[in-house]
A and B are shown apart, each in its own frame.
Chain A
Amino acid sequence: GAGVSQTPSNKVTEKGKYVELRCDPISGHTALYWYRQSLGQGPEFLIYFQGTGAADDSGLPNDRFFAVRPEGSVSTLKIQRTERGDSAVYLCASSLTGLPADTQYFGPGTRLTVL
C-alpha cells in the first residue's frame, strides 16, 4: 500500500519568507509526528497529532512554527519568517494508533534550504 508522502521534496526559500510543508500519512493512521533532522544529527521531535488535535507540541522550537491537521489526515507544517537556522530535512511519520509499541512509518522528508 501507499506509504507516507511529503511534498515538496525540496524547498528553497529566502530568509524571512513563509513556507508550508505537507504530509500525507498512511490511510487510517490516527497518529502523526513531525521531526526535524539537521545535518549529521538524528531526527528530533517537533509535534504529535492524535486525530485532529495537537496532543504534544513541546518540540516546536519557537512560535514561528505551527502545524495543523484539520481533518485528521493530511498535516501541514508552517514556518513563518524563516531563518537560515531552519534549514534541515523535515520528516513526517504516522502510526496506526500512537501507542508506544506502534511502528512509526516515515516519509522521505522535505529538504528545506533557507538562503
Chain B
Amino acid sequence: AQSVTQLGSHVSVSEGALVLLRCNYSSSVPPYLFWYVQYPNQGLQLLLKYTTGATLVKGINGFEAEFKKSETSFHLTKPSAHMSDAAEYFCAVSDPGSTSGTYKYIFGTGTRLKVLA
C-alpha cells in the first residue's frame, strides 16, 4: 500500500530564509504528487502538482517542488519565507495505475510551518 511520510511535524524558519518541507512516498509505481496548503479554518488549497513531464514543478506563491524518482521524494521549497506562508502543508499522492478506478489521495500527516520575524 502507498504511504506518504512528511519529516518534521513542525518547522520554523526566519522571514527571508529558505523553506524546505520534506515529503517521501513509498510506491512501486511513481505516483502523481501534490502539495496542498491549509490556512486556519480554511480548506486545502493546491500549491502545485506533478503528473508527468518536467520534474521541477513551479506552483503558486513562489513555491516549487522537484520529483526525484531515485529518492522517492517530492520536497517543497521556497527561496525566501514570508510571514504569510505560516500554515500547515500536506503532501499527497495518488496512484495513476489504480485498478479500482479510484484516484483517491493518500496524505501525509502534515507539516506546520512557522515563520519568525
**On chain A, which size bracket covers the interface?**
20 to 34
Q: Total A-B residue pairs with C-beta atoms closer than 8 Å?
A: 71
Q: Which of B18-46 contact A (CB under 8 A)?
A: 32, 34, 36, 41-46
A38 to nearest B CB, angstroms? 10
Task: Report if A67 contacts B (CB, 8 A).
Answer: no
Tell me if B41 and A41 are in contact (CB < 8 A).
no
Using A41-B109, A42-B108, A45-B104 as known contacts, say yes or no to A101 and B32 having CB atoms under 8 A apart: yes
Using A100-B94, A100-B98, A101-B96 as known contacts, say yes or no to A43 and B44 having CB atoms under 8 A apart: yes
A30 to nearest B CB, angstroms? 13
Closest to A92 in B: B43
Tell me if A100 and B90 are in contact (CB < 8 A).
no
Closest to B94 in A: A100
List residues of chain B with CB within 8 A of the CB of A93.
44
Using A48-B104, A91-B44 as known contacts, say yes or no to A42 and B32 having CB atoms under 8 A apart: no
Q: Which of A42, A59, A98, A103 is close to B110, meaning CB atoms less than 8 Å apart? A: A42
Task: Report if B49 contacts A (CB, 8 A).
Answer: yes
Task: Report if B15 contacts A (CB, 8 A).
Answer: no
List residues of chain B with CB within 8 A of the CB of A55.
101-102
List residues of chain B with CB within 8 A of the CB of A106.
36, 43-45
Task: Report if A109 contacts B (CB, 8 A).
Answer: yes
Q: Which of B51-103 contact A (CB under 8 A)?
A: 51-52, 90, 92, 94-96, 98, 100-103
List residues of chain B with CB within 8 A of the CB of A45.
104-106
* Residues on A facing B (Cβ under 8 Å): 3-4, 33, 35, 40-45, 48, 50, 55-56, 58-59, 91, 93, 98-109
